[in-house]
Structure 1
Amino acid sequence: MFNSFRWKLTSAFFIVILVIMTITGIMLTQLFKDYYINDVRSSLINEAKLAAQMTSLYDEHADEKSFLQWVVDTTAANTGSRVTVMDNSGVVLADSIFEAHKMDLHNNRPEVYSALKGQIGNDIRLSETADVEMLYVAIPFNNEKFQGVMRLAKNLDEVQILYHKIIYVLAIGIIISGVVAFILSLFIAQRFAQPVQKLTKAVNDIARGNLKRRIKFKTQGELRILSEAVNDMTDYLEKSMGEISKVKNRLETLLENTINGIIMINTKGQITYANPVAVELLNNPDVIEKKYVEVIKNYELINIVDKVVKNLKPIRAEILVHNNGEKNIEVNVVPIIDEEITENNGILLVLNDITELKRLEQVRRDFVANVSHELKTPVAAISGFAETLMAEENASENIKEFSSIIYEEAQHLSKLISRLLELSRLEFGKSKLLFEDVALSSVINSAINKLKKRYSHSNLNIKVKMRDEDIAVKGDYESISQVLINLLENAKKYSADGEEILIEVMERENDVKVMVTDKGIGIPNNELPRVFERFYRVDTARSRKTGGTGLGLSIVKHIIENHGGTVGASSEIGVGSTFFFILPKKQ
């Protein structure tokens, strides 16, 4: 109640009025006190002047001390003040209260000192003789009879009594005025607070979800402007919430019906969302608000999530799950980092069941391997018969020509079959790799020499850029040599005869990057993502002319991936292309 706007406004009004009245009362009291003291001082000055004139009535036959005592006594009786007469040296000649001959020299009193200098002196202080606070006024006088100082003093106790009475009256007035001010403040605050309370009630209603509520004020002013702003905000919120609701419904429909499993994990390790596909893959309907380590029964998947939580880097992997049979699952685990809204941080898991794709891929691999194996013998026979016909002395020119064509195509087909069989072995993981520390300078020189022998009729121009001859990687020597030969052959096919081919080796902190750059025709950007696919050719006509199989780069990709490395390419049309692979350094 007391924290409401009405009471705060009432308190503010009341405090302001009370402070103003208190300050005004203090100022008025002080002004009145000063005025009264100044009035008493003026009165004493005038009475001192009259007393000084009385000294001129002195009769030479009278006693001087008795006459002066009569003057001070008469003046004191008429004015109610203490009267003292001193000579020009400050010696007291007569005093209305004390005996003059017992009093000290007064020339050091401030008011007397000023009077002896010919000025009217005054002072307020504690009397050393009477031990009370008094107002002193002293004037110099000089007539035919006497000359000296006439001093009058007034006790200020009356002033203090009157001052206290004024303070009491003012205090009573302030209290009465404060009560009246409080009542008025309460009434005024109620008038001001009523529209604010109405606005607050409406805003609370809107905050609770009633976006149809609107505020109306007939009067002009800031509250009407505020109410119109709240109405505009409510219109915007209503529109935005409608759009958000539509997006939410679409997203829910998408997530509920997608073929992928979607799981959200918060920073506490709790699963906050799992769509039906994810629930089915986890084989656990009760997963929400539970720790992922309690729900996920696959150790490999838990290990992947732990790595993403630790390193905050996405991981893509394939795992096997054994819920309701063996399934191949492609897992994409991505960290969600929102610096502004930390509550949204967490981990996103996308689970894709690729069991059927894996089965079809296996069927394709088996078919390619079986067909390649079955074709190898008849192709070898065709090649042998064609070679025999070519060597026949009695054969006609047509037979020799046709036999040569058959032999060349059979050789090309034999090469294709060999590449297919090699690729199948790599895909099945049947290719045995002998891991050792491989010096790149040695394997590069070996690959160049083999290529020069193979293309002895061509003008090969291969340059090597390598800072350290001792750079080594962990891998299989022959496989890495095959990778370099394939990349160099690919560069030669798309470069002019004698054009420079550059092999560059770049040693990094944890791995080594090997780049093969040519100055050929280049590859369009939209073609780059597919260059490592099997049978894919950028320029089909040129590949046929050079005898390419479309498998060389695919073999490179599988060899490097079997080594735990990565491959890539960059190119610019008319400038050339760069193919690279990255392998871990030797330990």
Structure 2
Amino acid sequence: MVKPRFTTKIFLSYIIIVLLISISFAVFSTITLKKYYIKNIEERLSINTTLVGELLHKKTPSLDRDIKKLGRKIGERITIIDKTGRVLADSEKDPYFMENHALRPEVRMALKEGVGKSIRFSRTLGVDMFYLAIPSGDGRVVRLSVPLTEIKTAIHGLRCMFLSVIFISCIFLLLVAFIISRTIGRPISSIAETAEDIARGDLKKRVNVSSEDEIGRLAISFNKMAEELGSRIDAITREKNLLETVLHGIADGVFVTDKNGKMILTNPGFERIFPRTVGRYYYEVIRNDEINFLIEKALNSGIQESKEVSLYLPDEKIFQIYAAPIRDKKEITGACTVMLDITNLKKLERMRIDFVANVSHELRTPLTAIQGAIETLKRGALKKQSATEFVDIIERQTTRLGSLINDLLDLSGIESKERKMEFEEIDARDMVQRVYANFKRTAKKKSQEFCLDLPEEPVILGADPEKIEQAIANLVDNAIKFTPDRGEVILSLNTSKERVRIEVKDTGPGIAPDDIPRIFERFYRVDKARSRKLGGTGLGLSIVKHIVEAHNGKVGVESQPGKGSKFIITLSRR
């Protein structure tokens, strides 16, 4: 439904006022005029009634004829009634056929009060009449009456004149009202339209000030208000953008709930864990009693707390949960919760603990062997022929210690980036060929079939040849160690337009699926006893991973228990 404009309301108000005044004036004038005419008629009838009464005092043989003659002369109806109500004479009708008038109100009033008058419908003549009755003094009543047609005609003429004047006046007044309403309504409509534009987002819209009256001052105040509103909205927008930037920049999950527990704000970090959550209650989204308890305490008691919580999403994730109340003055209006993902920190901490334990163990084993050999030699075995055996033990364990220390230094240098990669363009075939040549004899000792698969065309690659060769050598060394005698090891090089793929495939025992995610961790061994027996330090695959990642490449493994393993290095050619 379209609502009327302010200008229309003003104009309609003027119309109503003009109509009310005009109608009131017409009604008042009609009533006044009617009273005026009736008063004149009453005075005229009163005079004529007195004259007729004087006529009755004269004895005339034909009263009815004289009354009819007099009635025609004065233009009024004359009726003579005795005290019993019988009509003695009438100027309009034959008194013989007229009914008794004793109960007529004007007759009764005249006999009682001396003058009687009434306005009523005459059943005899069939029109509205004005009656005036006066006693004549001899027991008779003289009644004169005139029809009200004269009054109605006069009033009708006056009413037509009034209506004409009112109509012309209304047109004039309505024209004036329209001009006034437009004059008042135009600036107000301009203010309303500007307000609507501002509500739609056009904060630069302003009202044109064209007067210095109240409306002009209103327009000036409105423009100042719009400027202040624009400044505050700009400030709020900047703060909102800053808040959104900060929230989007936080990798961890952050969400805000209102005082009822409904989520009203989340960041992408939280949406990655729990998508589509805004508008829902926190306990519907997070099905964890420990987290919900922290939020509940923040909302109900205003207590800020943190707790370490594990969630399965579906893999286990460890979060440090911080829940704090949001206050408006002293009232708690909501809660802000931060879910800090510390899974990697916990993993690193566990790796650090394992690393220290593994290093300690790896160092203690050869040192124990060396210490035992030295003690044996000190007891007298130095002069015996068996001294050579203990010296060999010391030599082997010293070599093992040297390998462990060298691997640790290499791994530390790669991780800390202290040892920068020296990239150069090389033919990957030459590098793979050198690794094959270095391990060919070792594979032959175990009667293994060691195969090499190279493309015919040169494979130009930007890499540090020494480090990539070390990574390939570690994979081949592991393959030969863990592949049983008369097994098969295949070293291959494949290439595409964008990438180089180096594969080392063996027919060894394979790797269980549970061990694959941790296979590249430092000191992690699938079969610890066998690894130590074969002389491994547990750092080879970790070194491979860090070298490849330093080249922006990837290393992976495909394996099934009992069917062997395939390690794959993928490098970019650029």
Q: TM-score, normalised by structure 2?
A: 0.50
**Cα distance in 2 between the residues matched to 1:161 and 1:209:** 67
Matches within 5 A, 1:107-126: 107-117=102-112, 119-126=114-121
**Cα distance in 2 between the residues matched to 1:289 and 1:258:** 18
Asked which structure has the greater CA Rg, the reply is: 2
Kindly state the Cα deviation for residue 43 of structure 1 after the two structures are TM-superposed.
1.3
Count the aligned residue pairs: 350
Preserved contact between residue 111 and residue 121 of structure 1 (Cα < 8 Å): yes
Query: Quick one: structure 1 residues 236 and 118, their matched pair in 2 at CA, closer, same or farther if it must change by over 3 Å?
Result: closer
Preserved contact between residue 270 and residue 288 of structure 1 (Cα < 8 Å): no
Preserved contact between residue 2 and residue 8 of structure 1 (Cα < 8 Å): no
Partner of 2:570: none
Matched, 1:51 2:42: no
Matches within 5 A, 1:358-397: none
Structure 2 letter corresponding to 1:223: I
Alignment partner of 2:140: what SS?
strand
Preserved contact between residue 112 and residue 149 of structure 1 (Cα < 8 Å): yes
CA RMSD after TM alignment: 4.6
Partner of 1:138: 133
**Cα distance in 2 between the residues matched to 1:330 and 1:271:** 20
Matches within 5 A, 1:342-361: 348-355=336-343
Partner of 1:300: 288
Matched, 1:199 2:200: no
Structure 2 letter corresponding to 1:350: V
Structure 1: segments with no counterpart, 5+ residues: 339-343, 367-587
Q: For 1:128-167, what per-residue CA distance to the aligned partner results, in whole angstroms no more than 9, with x for missing partners? A: 544432111112234xxx6632110112234334444544
Alignment partner of 2:270: what SS?
helix
Partner of 2:320: 330
Structure 2: segments with no counterpart, 5+ residues: 355-574
Partner of 1:6: 7
Q: For 1:284-322, what per-residue CA distance to the aligned partner results, in whole angstroms no more than 9, with x for missing partners? A: 8x65769799997x753799499959x978896533245
Preserved contact between residue 76 and residue 83 of structure 1 (Cα < 8 Å): yes
Partner of 1:15: 16
Preserved contact between residue 308 and residue 319 of structure 2 (Cα < 8 Å): yes
Moved more, 30-39 or 236-245: 236-245
Partner of 1:217: 209
**Cα distance in 1 between the residues matched to 2:19 and 2:278:** 59
Partner of 2:357: none
Moved more, 238-247 or 77-86: 238-247
Structure 2 letter corresponding to 1:72: I
Moved more, 94-103 or 70-79: 94-103
Matches within 5 A, 1:463-482: none
Structure 2 letter corresponding to 1:184: V
Preserved contact between residue 55 and residue 71 of structure 1 (Cα < 8 Å): no
Query: Quick one: structure 1 residues 154 and 292, their matched pair in 2 at CA, closer, same or farther if it must change by over 3 Å?
Result: closer
Q: For 1:143-196, what per-residue CA distance to the aligned partner results, in whole angstroms no more than 9, with x for missing partners? A: xxx663211011223433444454455445544544444333322221221211
Matched, 1:157 2:149: yes
Q: Among 76, 80, 103, which residue is 1:81 paired with?
A: 76
Partner of 2:174: 182
Matches within 5 A, 1:475-514: none
Q: For 1:323-355, what per-residue CA distance to the aligned partner results, in whole angstroms no more than 9, with x for missing partners? A: 6964311234678899xxxxx988754202244
Matched, 1:320 2:346: no
Preserved contact between residue 301 and residue 319 of structure 1 (Cα < 8 Å): no
Structure 1 letter corresponding to 2:74: T
Alignment partner of 1:11: what SS?
helix
Partner of 2:95: 100
Structure 2 letter corresponding to 1:139: I
Query: Quick one: structure 1 residues 147 and 210, their matched pair in 2 at CA, closer, same or farther if it must change by over 3 Å?
Result: same
**Cα distance in 2 between the residues matched to 1:106 and 1:333:** 106
Partner of 2:413: none
Kindly state the Cα deviation for residue 268 of structure 1 after the two structures are TM-superposed.
12
Kindly state the Cα deviation for residue 218 of structure 1 after the two structures are TM-superposed.
4.4
Q: For 1:58-108, what per-residue CA distance to the aligned partner results, in whole angstroms no more than 9, with x for missing partners? A: 3xxx52xx1x22431122111222211234554432222333345444343
Query: Quick one: structure 1 residues 336 and 132, their matched pair in 2 at CA, closer, same or farther if it must change by over 3 Å?
Result: farther
Preserved contact between residue 136 and residue 152 of structure 1 (Cα < 8 Å): yes
Partner of 1:42: 43
**Cα distance in 2 between the residues matched to 1:293 and 1:241:** 30
Partner of 1:26: 27
**Cα distance in 2 between the residues matched to 1:236 and 1:121:** 81
Moved more, 190-199 or 250-259: 250-259
Partner of 2:374: none
Q: For 1:359-388, what per-residue CA distance to the aligned partner results, in whole angstroms no more than 9, with x for missing partners? A: 79989999xxxxxxxxxxxxxxxxxxxxxx
Preserved contact between residue 266 and residue 278 of structure 2 (Cα < 8 Å): no
Alignment partner of 2:92: what SS?
coil
Matched, 1:275 2:267: yes
**Cα distance in 2 between the residues matched to 1:365 and 1:223:** 79
Matches within 5 A, 1:251-290: 251-258=243-250, 260-264=252-256, 273-279=265-271, 282=273, 287=276
**Cα distance in 2 between the residues matched to 1:215 and 1:364:** 70
Structure 2 letter corresponding to 1:235: E
Preserved contact between residue 274 and residue 287 of structure 1 (Cα < 8 Å): no
Preserved contact between residue 256 and residue 335 of structure 2 (Cα < 8 Å): yes
Preserved contact between residue 216 and residue 227 of structure 1 (Cα < 8 Å): yes
Query: Quick one: structure 1 residues 207 and 273, their matched pair in 2 at CA, closer, same or farther if it must change by over 3 Å?
Result: same
